[in-house]
């Protein structure tokens, strides 16, 4: 049977665009449909604009530290509207790049909401297109709990477009997004409280990393409130918000920002027209080849709920394109040793197993750890300290995990991720010559394991 396309991709985010571009490059007839913005969450309301705001927030510390190096600066003034306008201009530029990447690759781009009609048909803007295969790459969407007054809260989607910087902000959540935005708002001068319903944020990260970040954020004056959750939100006559907590306390704010998880974006996708199974969390079930329970329909990225990171979606998109249209180059995706960063202030960089995960997996571990004041801060009054940690298998000497809290942690750990992926042992770390003077050299000069 002849179809209009060999592959129809629903969603022009990181994974969808990567799969579409490379499939087209391999000679396939490819279409992509996007109803919101080219580049998906990461480019528009995620990683990229967030990192730009983190840079903006960090300048407050840079100005303060400059005096220790002989710089005399006048009173610093921050303008939120300038930052957001410049951010918007950069995102528009990236949208154009994504558009060109697709069209220059020979991909047919449909801007509108796509809906699956059957296993080989997709409808966009009232027009139906037949396709041999359908790839669902629609990503995720922020969730705000169903509490009284939830309409007064915002998510990351809205935070990037606030007309002005709120004076008082309540950030609710304990994951990447919550910690990062708490750092952003606080760094830009807002009175910020981070509320998390658990004992300590960043569940799943190494315990030492979590504790160290808690100490550093507290030293910076960020109000951390654990075992705290909001029961309701009320808009007051003056426009401010009153958040009533489950313990009865009332906190006043100008903005309540929720970062309490994301759901797969499956709204009005037409899944009821095909046999595509969802798991108990609501994500699309796929096998190791990203195939759903309907053979002609595949899915990848945040919508399948595996590792919800942009580089992972890119790798999944590449794997799908190769398997379908360039099978001689196909390699199964390995989800082990995936590095990641949390762009809090200070940053977190991590790859591999945490100490707790290594022990749970049955490893006998040696822990190497260092806490020190970065050289850049030695001429300042800033008390921030850096944490570096290696988790090593005591029997094989293999480095199982590498963790850092401190300036440029993501940049440093990216390089170390290559070593861990290659199976580096602690001996190899020890035999590696460090770059001096640098913070990164600490990872190859850790000699004495810590006792627990």
Catalytically active residues are: 436
Q: Answer yes or no: is 233 a known binding residue.
A: no
Output helix, strand, coil percentages for the chain, rounded to the nearest 5.
35, 25, 40
Neighbouring CB atoms inside 10 A of 7's CB total: 25
Q: Answer yes or no: is 178 a known binding residue.
A: yes
Q: Answer yes or no: is 179 a known binding residue.
A: yes
Query: How many angstroms separate the most distant Cα atoms in the chain?
Result: 74
Neighbouring CB atoms inside 10 A of 379's CB total: 12
DSSP string, 49-103: HHHHHHHHHHHHHHHHHHGGGT---------HHHHHHHHHHHHHHHHHHHHHHHH
Q: Write 383-389 long-range contacts (CB < 8 A, 24+).
A: 383/219, 384/216, 384/219, 384/220, 384/346, 385/212, 385/216, 386/346, 386/439, 386/442, 387/208, 387/209, 387/212, 388/439, 388/442, 388/443, 388/446, 389/206, 389/208, 389/209, 389/355
Q: Answer yes or no: is 39 a known binding residue.
A: no
DSSP string, 305-328: TSS--HHHHHHHHHHHHHHHH-GG
- 343, two tokens: 């762009």
Q: Answer yes or no: is 221 a known binding residue.
A: no
Q: Answer yes or no: is 204 a known binding residue.
A: no
Q: How far apart are CA 119 and CA 117, in angstroms?
A: 7
Neighbouring CB atoms inside 10 A of 387's CB total: 24
**What stretches of 308-444 adopt beta strand conformation (E)?**
340-342, 348-352, 365-372, 386-393, 399-405
Q: How far apart are CA 158 and CA 155, in angstroms?
A: 6
Contact 300, 135 (CB under 8 A): yes
The terminus-to-terminus CA distance of the chain in angstroms comes to 66
Q: How far apart are CA 51 and CA 38, in angstroms?
A: 18
Integer CA distances (angstroms), 54 to 60, 297, 345, in order: 11, 38, 8
Q: Answer yes or no: is 176 a known binding residue.
A: yes
Q: Answer yes or no: is 13 a known binding residue.
A: no
Neighbouring CB atoms inside 10 A of 374's CB total: 17
Q: Answer yes or no: is 174 a known binding residue.
A: yes
Alpha helices in 188-254 (DSSP H): 207-219
Q: How far apart are CA 384 and CA 390, in angstroms?
A: 20
Which residue ranges make up the annotated binding site for FAD? 51, 302
Which residue ranges make up the annotated binding site for NAD(+)? 173-180, 261
Which residue ranges make up the annotated binding site? 51, 173-180, 261, 302
């Amino acid at each position: 049977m002849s179809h209009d396309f060999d592959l129809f991709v629903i969603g022009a985010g990181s994974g969808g665009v990567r799969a579409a571009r490379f499939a087209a490059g391999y000679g396939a007839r490819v279409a992509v449909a996007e109803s919101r913005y080219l580049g998906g969450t990461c480019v528009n309301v995620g990683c990229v604009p967030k990192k730009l705001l983190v840079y903006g927030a960090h300048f407050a510390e840079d100005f303060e530290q400059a005096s220790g190096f002989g710089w005399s600066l006048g009173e610093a003034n921050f303008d939120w509207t300038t930052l957001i306008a410049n951010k918007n201009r950069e995102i528009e530029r990236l949208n154009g790049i994504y558009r060109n990447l697709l069209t220059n690759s020979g991909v047919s781009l449909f801007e509108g909401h796509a809906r699956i009609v059957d296993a080989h048909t997709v409808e966009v803007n009232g027009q139906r297109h037949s396709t041999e295969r359908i790839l669902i790459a629609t990503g995720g969407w922020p969730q705000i709990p169903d509490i009284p007054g939830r309409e007064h809260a915002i998510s990351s989607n809205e935070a990037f477009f606030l007309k002005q910087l709120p004076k008082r902000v309540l950030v609710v959540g304990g994951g990447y997004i919550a910690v990062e935005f708490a750092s952003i708002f606080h760094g830009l001068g807002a009175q910020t409280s981070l509320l998390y319903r658990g004992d300590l944020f960043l569940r799943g990260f190494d315990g030492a990393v979590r504790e160290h970040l808690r100490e550093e954020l507290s030293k910076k004056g960020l109000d951390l409130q654990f075992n705290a959750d909001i029961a309701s939100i009320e808009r007051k006559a003056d426009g401010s918000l009153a958040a009533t907590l489950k313990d009865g306390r009332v906190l006043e704010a100008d903005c309540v920002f929720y970062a309490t998880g994301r759901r797969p974006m499956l709204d009005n996708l037409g899944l009821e027209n095909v046999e595509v199974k969802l798991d108990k969390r609501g994500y699309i079930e796929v096998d190791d080849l990203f195939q759903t329970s309907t053979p002609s329909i595949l899915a990848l990225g945040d919508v399948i709920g595996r590792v919800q990171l942009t580089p992972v979606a890119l790798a999944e998109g590449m794997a799908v394109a190769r398997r379908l249209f360039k099978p001689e180059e196909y390699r199964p995706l390995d989800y082990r040793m995936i590095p990641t960063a949390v762009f809090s202030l200070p940053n977190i960089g991590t790859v591999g197993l945490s100490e707790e995960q290594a022990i749970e997996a049955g490893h006998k571990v040696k822990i190497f750890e260092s806490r020190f004041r970065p050289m850049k801060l030695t001429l300042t009054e800033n008390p921030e300290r850096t944490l570096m940690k290696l988790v090593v298998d005591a029997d094989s000497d293999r480095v199982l995990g590498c963790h850092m809290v401190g300036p440029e942690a993501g940049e440093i750990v990216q390089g170390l991720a290559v070593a861990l992926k290659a199976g580096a042992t602690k001996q190899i770390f020890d035999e590696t010559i460090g770059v001096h003077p640098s913070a990164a050299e600490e990872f190859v000069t850790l000699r004495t394991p810590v006792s627990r």
